[in-house]
Homo-oligomer: A and B are copies of this chain.
Amino acid sequence: MLPRGRPRALGAAALLLLLLLLIGFLLLGGDPECERLEPDGRAGDLGCPRCPLTPRVPSDGRLRGASALDGDPMAGLWDHNRSACDPWPQLPPKCELLHVAIVCAGHNSSRDVITLVKSLLFYRKNPLHLHLVTDAVARNILETLFRTWMVPALGVSFYHADQLQPQISWIPNKHYSGLYGLMKLVLPGILPPGLARVIVLDTDVTFASDIAELWALFAYFSDKQVIGLVENQSDWYLGNLWKNHRPWPALGRGFNTGVILLWLDRLRQVGWEQIWTLTAQRELLTLAATSLADQDIFNAVIKEHPELVQPLPCVWNVQLSDHTRAEHCYSEAADLKVIHWNSPKKVRVKNKHAGSFRNFYLTFLGYDGNLLRRELFGCPSQTLPEAEQLQRALAQLDEEDACFEFRQQQLTVHRVHITFLPHKPPPPRPHDITLVAQLSMDRLQMLEVLCRHWPGPMSLALYLTDAEAQQFLHFVEASPVLSARQDVAYHVVYREGPLYPVNQLRNVALAQALTPYVFLSDIDFLPAYSLYDYLRASIEQLELGSRRKAALVVPAFETLRYRFTFPSSKAELLALLDSGLLYTFRYHEWPQGHAPTDYARWREAQAPYRVQWAADYEPYVVVPRDCPRYDPRFVGFGWNKVAHIVELDAQEFELLVLPEAFTIHLPHAPSLDISRFRSSSTYRDCLQALKEEFHQDLSRRYGAAALKYLTALQQPRSPA
């Protein structure tokens, strides 16, 4: 074996440089079209080969430096389009962990960051670790999301944005990103001390390539360089946009901080915190505030210390603001790497090619995130323990089992995006009630009318694809009624598998209810206009919280007509019932579902009355938030609410029917699940098997007390 180590490598590098020059001279040197690429980027057409990445070895062999900024920086050191015949910068080994930091606050940024992460994951081939600096809202959303997403080879750490505020809140800032924009400055201090390098991203960027290619650019940093940035693609920092326009100091057009390569350990060594703090303090003596948040301060620091920056090829941050010069970059590039929607209008920005760029963004906006759960082959132990356990459980299922689909659906862990839209938690009130329900796209038109009937808080789980979630967002934005309601929390559960996971959806909505009580409803029901107030008064009068463990029953009715005038009182409801325009719920098909409510007694009742559980009873009830969860084994159609009422009864909840409460079911076409149930004997057999397993579990948990449920089950009767 030959001697190894640094001296040999250095020798090789020197030789390589020399040889590349020589080859370059022979192959290209005499070909002016290739050496000096024209702005129209046609060199390739003339027979100059194209290389997929962009750092170009200049004729003097220097690989680094900020000299790009002399003269026209776009034509400088970094060739911003496909360059001729350069070696590909060496990609990190395929199992090397790459680190990404993102600052994210609030509901809307949380959605943005997910789209960004989808684009990252789509192209990535390396394990990734996300360092997320978040406010409480974003943390709540993103923790749930990543826990349920279970992407192999993806680590996530959270950092409290609130705790960083003191470090930057002294800086006056006029940018729309507010304080959060400035937090990128303090990352070297808060990320783990052992972390040497990180890529920092704004939430409004979209990847169109493998982030490992960006990571590879760290290799071009000189020993002194600590920050990699793309030039700002607007004239802002030239300071000539309007009379008295006085931007913060910058080198030439300055740099954009939407994509940053941070060499953290070097930053810590050079005393980064002191450097930027001093610069900011000095500039703020003459400038009132930052206009572009952290970006102003980064640029002021770089103006003073140009040796710190490694300019990056423009394709790594194609900036689509209103007056962007980005076209200079992309019209020559074969290959766009990162698109930055850095206009306050975001993807609605108007510029010549925005439509084509938007397609990159829309690709990931609607992309099925479940598909990103794919493994990286050949890297060790990327799988999360939960995911591994799940894989094992799924692998143990018998595909020949007639109920295979049911079992698979029960085991499925759905990706969950809680509070998908902005939401204000209700103020704490001792008897407040959240309406809990679940739905899919085909019931969206119920939301407005439901809002009119229930003026209180709601927690709704929506079973959607990623693309449908965007349709839902537009639907809410287009509705004045829905947009006005900040007390309705929408939780998106992403679709996976053939059966509707009704009880898993109910549990998601239930877990996110923030009031002491919940009204467990279904989306096709409209409550009496007065129900919200009446229920709260009833809870107070019955002293439900302290004195009694009870479930309040809201009697259910149905209409078979599309257009009908909703009764404004119990008296009106009874009149409609008598005239045959209303029925008690599922009176014709499944009377035992509500028979124990005792509609005859309800007619006359003036006070709440207690009823006894009976087989197949499935009333709509109000219970404390900490009530038993729904049994997630019931997927698709059938018995999902019945099992929950059994559980309430087993836990000795009193069932109290309220004399003035009512809710009315509106007609709709039969769901695909109910059609399957009706047409498939396997489906019915599987439901029967689920019921039996449920009862076995009941016996295990409640012993002899559960015997009555089993006895009731064994009376033959068709389920509905």
Chain A positions near chain B (C-beta within 8 angstroms): 1-4, 8-9, 11-12, 15-16, 19, 22-23, 26-27, 29-32, 40-42, 44-45, 47-52, 82, 85, 87-88, 90-96, 125, 330-335, 353, 355-356, 359-360, 362-363, 366-368, 371-375, 377-378, 441-442, 444-445, 465, 467, 474-475, 498, 560-563, 588, 666-670, 672, 675
What are the 3 A-B residue pairs with the smallest beta carbon separation, nearest first?
A44-B93, A2-B30, A49-B90
Assuming the contacts A90-B50, A353-B375, A467-B467, asked whether A2 and B15 have C-beta atoms less than 8 A apart, the reply is no
Q: How close is A325's CB to chain B, nearest CB, in angstroms? A: 14
Contact B670 A377, beta carbon cutoff 8 Å: no
Known: A32-B1, A377-B330, A378-B332. A94 touches B50 (CB 8 A): yes
Q: Give min CB distance, A208 to chain B, whole Å.
A: 10
Distance in Å from the Cβ of A480 to the closest Cβ of chain B?
A: 9
Asked whether A378 lies within 8 Å of B41 as measured between CB atoms, the reply is yes
Q: Which residues of B contact A26 (CB under 8 A)?
A: 8, 11-12, 15
Closest to A1 in B: B30
Contact of A669 among B87, B371, B375, B445 (CB under 8 A): B445
A82: nearest residue on chain B (CB-CB)? Answer: B94
CA distance A330 to B52 in the complex (A): 22
A125, A373, A377: which has the most chain B beta carbons within 10 Å? A377
Copies in the complex: 2
- Complex interface: chain B residues within 8 A of A23 (CB): 12, 15-16, 19
Smallest CB separation, A45 vs chain B (Å):
5
- Is B333's CB under 8 angstroms from A88's CB? no
A667 touching B377, Cβ below 8 Å: no
A335 CA / B668 CA spacing, docked (Å):
49
Contact A88 B12 (CB under 8 A): no
Interchain Cβ contacts under 8 Å between A and B, 19 examples: A1-B32, A2-B30, A15-B23, A42-B95, A45-B95, A49-B90, A94-B334, A330-B378, A331-B378, A333-B377, A334-B378, A353-B377, A359-B372, A363-B368, A368-B467, A445-B669, A445-B672, A475-B672, A666-B669
Which of B125, B375, B465 has a CB less than 8 Å from the CB of A356?
B375
B378→A50 contact, CB < 8 A: no
A667 CB contact (under 8 Å) in B8, B12, B29, B669: B669
Q: Could you tell me the distance between the alpha carbons of A367 and B49 in the complex, rounded to whole angstroms?
A: 32
Q: Which residue of B lies closest to A28 (CB)?
A: B12
* Given A3-B30, A12-B27, A19-B23: A51 in contact with B359 (beta carbons within 8 A): no
Quick one: closest B residue to A350, CB to CB? B399
Evaluate contact between B29 and A2: CB separation under 8 angstroms: yes
A709 to B666, CA, bound (A): 39
Chain B residue numbers with a CB within 8 Å of A31 are 4
Shortest CB-to-CB span from A69 to chain B, Å, is 25
CA of A666 to CA of B120 in the docked complex: distance in angstroms? 47
The reply to whether B374 and A49 form a contact with Cβ atoms under 8 Å apart is: no
Selected from B47, B52, B359, the residue in CB contact (under 8 A) with A371 is B359
Interface residue from B2, B22, B87, B356 paired with A374 (Cβ < 8 Å)? B356
Cα A655 to Cα B62 with chains together (Å): 85
A669-B96 Cα distance, complex, nearest whole Å: 54
Q: Given A12-B23, A93-B44, are A334 and B125 also a contact pair (CB < 8 Å)? A: yes
* Among A47, A366, A367: residue with most chain B CB under 10 A: A366
Q: Which of B45, B356, B444, B563 contacts A672 (CB 8 A)?
A: B444
CA distance A362 to B371 in the complex (A): 8
For the complex, give the distance between the alpha carbons of A16 and B4 in Å.
24
A561 to B362 Cα, complex, angstroms: 41
